[in-house]
Amino acid sequence: MIIKGRIIKAGNVEGEALVSMEPIAFFGGVDPETGKIIERNHPLEGEIISGKILVFPHGKGSTVGTYILYRMKKKGTAPKAIINEECEPIIAVGTIISDIPCIDKVDIKKIKSGDKIRIEGDTIYVNE
Amino acid sequence: MIITKEEEMMLNGERGEGVQKAMEIIVALGKIYGAKNLIKIESAHISGVSYKNLGDEGLEFLEEIANTGVKVSVKTTLNPAGIDLDFWETLGFKRDFAEKQIKIIKAYEKMGVKTTCTCTPYLTENKPKLGKHVAWGESSAIIYVNSVLGARTNRESGISALASAITGRTANYGLHLDENRLADYKINVKCEVKGISDFGALGYLIGKKIGNKIPYIIGVKSASLDELKALGAAMAASGAIGLFHIEGITPETNMKKMIKENAEEIEITSLKEAYETLNSDVKDIDLVSIGCPHTSINEITEIARLIRGRKIKTELWITTSRYLYNEAKKLGLIDVINEAGGKVIRDTCIIVAPIEDLGFKTLATNSGKMALLAPLHSKVKVRFGNLNQCIKAALEGEWIDN
């Protein structure tokens, strides 16, 4: 399957999808040291997002989340890329300052955790 | 979105790596908010300065971007830091915190930012004019600039304001556009509103009631600039409001109709609810704190008048900018306050300083914004009332109800 999106931060990468239908708060919701989702009762609670193509509707919570993404990139615990339904400033600015490819305007229901994803420009290849 | 040749060069990296990153941020925000183009800005004001909020991540980011050699391209001022940059040690701040805070300031300085750390740059060296476009962070300054000065800014974050400062651009959306500056609600004030704390209480109630919308206030007949500063600060803290209008008082209301046809009307008949919510029941006061937002010369003058020749029993912190401190010093006001036992502190404020490290448990203030935020950010219990009550608490060591 091929999905077209809108580039927020350009970059070409390949990896495995980890999908959340709930928004993610990087500040307080993710442990930057381990890359683990720590928000109580979040559908991905306990999952490691490091090295994954992280798929979720949009960010939420404090704008400090921007710096958490940056910290994760420096620590090597960041996701490989981010795919959003509607990107908002916390994630957009975070991916730009951290050089993490990011695409939005994507119907994320079409992607399942474990799918093999390849991102080239504004195009997402799913299990292709 | 259409961008100019010069903007395209910035985006392609032809103006250096730092400018490229900054332009990527501006363009991404433009896409997200549906901007048709970018616009030039006259000035920027950067929030996100205290180490308490930025942490090691923010410090690392700022040092890295400063080390690319990038400079701001418009007049850019800085929000309060977590310490008084000269007197942090005598005030009891920890060395580790101070050292990291000073590194943050140095990184901004390296980029050409004016490091007068204040939330009221419009009282010092950065005062935008009616109708001009700027990119400002700091909710209380944003709302003042939009409402009282009639200049135009969206509610920028620290990083987006820095990106605008570097590129000299912001995306053209939101409050930069005429059609988005019209009020959604008519707020009919039917009670007396007098003094800094009353205006803070009114702002708190409006923010609570209308969230991130724009109010058009009627029924307030007069207001000083200090009262408007307190009103906006509280409104932007309890809601996420970036602009208010007061009929006959704020400049845009004298130019054209600034309210939507279908605006809903809300009546405010009493400020009691605000005073009740923002007050705790503590009696003993450790710290009386005036200056959220940072005090003006008029406010410092009034405090000096109230405590001249007397001795206070609590700590009294008056927070202001370095710029106005120097002015107050020349007028002899700092000496009057010091002789009574009070301190005038620069560069910082109670909200962004790590005051929980200094052992303060209770605080009295005339600021609606501080009364709302201090318990959340610094775990202190608060008394909220007018300036006379706060000074009385400083002189008596305890809160006395009117």
3-state helix/strand/coil string of B125-170? CCCCCCCCECEECCHHHHHHHHHCCCCECCCCCHHHHHHHHHHCEE
Q: Region B253-267: what's the mean pLDDT?
A: 97
Please say whether the dihedral angle defined by the alpha carbons of residues A32, A36, A38 and A44, taken in this order, is positive or negative: positive
- B310: its two tokens: 């007397």
Residue A46: per-residue pLDDT:
96
pLDDT for position B402: 73
The pLDDT assigned to B227 comes to 98
Cβ neighbours of A118 (radius 10 Å):
17
Instruction: Considering only CA atoms, give the Rg of chain A.
Output: 13
Average pLDDT value for residue range A90-106: 95
B142 band by pLDDT with thresholds 50, 70 and 90: very high
Taking only residues 54 to 73 of chain B, the set having a beta carbon closer than 8 angstroms to any beta carbon of chain A reads 54-58, 60-61, 65
Paired strand residues for A37? A30
Euclidean distance between CA atoms A55 and B193, whole angstroms = 50
Chain B residues within an 8 Å CB radius of A75:
none
* pLDDT for the residue B357: 84
**Where does B279-396 sit in CATH, by number?**
3.30.499.10
The pLDDT confidence band at residue B350, using thresholds 50, 70 and 90, is confident
Chain A residue closest to B65 (CA)? A97
Query: Model confidence over B60-113: pLDDT tens digits?
Result: 999 999 999 999 999 999 999 999 999 999 999 999 999 999 999 999 999 999
Residue A28: what pLDDT? 84
Answer whether residue B288 shows pLDDT above 90. Answer: yes
In CATH, the number for domain B5-178 is 3.30.499.10
Q: Give the gap in angstroms from C-alpha A68 to the nearest C-alpha of chain B.
A: 7
Question: Closest Cα to residue B28, out of B223, B229, B163, B185?
Answer: B163
Mean pLDDT estimate for chain B? 96
Tell me the backbone φ, ψ of residue A115, rounded to 5 degrees.
-60, 150
Q: What is the mean pLDDT of chain A?
A: 94
Question: Given a cut of 80, is residue A91 above it in pLDDT?
Answer: yes
pLDDT of res. B380? 93
Q: What is the pLDDT, as a whole number, of residue B377? A: 79
- Structure confidence at residue B243 (pLDDT): 98
Pairing of the two strands B183-189 and B259-268: parallel
CA–CA distance, B18 with A123 (Å, rounded to integer): 27
Q: Average the pLDDT over each of A55-64, A91-100, B365-374, B388-397 and give the range with the smallest value.
A: A55-64
Is B29–A89 a contact, with Cβ atoms under 8 angstroms apart? yes
Question: Bigger pLDDT: A67 or B271?
Answer: B271
| DSSP symbols for B28-69 | HHHHHTT-SBEEE-SEEEE----HHHHHHHHHHHHHHHHHTT
B338 membership: H or E segment, kind and range: helix B333-339
| Tokens standing for residue B294 | 């940072």
pLDDT of residue B351: 84
- At B34, the pLDDT band (50, 70, 90 cuts) reads very high
Structure tokens that stand for B299 in this block: 């406010």
Whether pLDDT at B354 is above 90:
no
Which of 3.30.460.20, 3.50.30.10, 3.40.50.10420, 3.30.300.30 would CATH assign to domain A2-126?
3.50.30.10
Q: Considering only A38-52, B29-43, B323-337, B344-358, which range has the smallest mean pLDDT? A: B344-358
Using an 8 Å CB-CB cutoff, list chain A residues near B23: none
Residue B401 pLDDT exceeds 90:
no
Residues of chain B with pLDDT > 90: what percent?
91
Res. B248 pLDDT band, cuts 50 70 90: very high
**ω before B128 within 30° of 0 (cis)?**
no
Distance from CA of B153 to the nearest CA of A (A): 16
Which residue from A86, A92, A97 is facing B29, i.e. has the nearest CB? A92
Length of chain B: 402
pLDDT tier at B133, thresholds 50, 70, 90: very high
DSSP-derived 3-state class of residue A61? coil
Please say if the pLDDT value at position B48 is more than 90.
no
Q: Which helix (H) or strand (E) holds B266?
A: strand B259-268
pLDDT at B223: 98
Domain positions in chain B:
5-178, 182-275, 279-396
pLDDT of A62 strictly over 80:
no
Shortest CA gap A9–chain B (Å) = 8
Burial, B366: exposed, middle or buried (Cβ in 10 Å; 0-12, 13-18, 19+)? buried
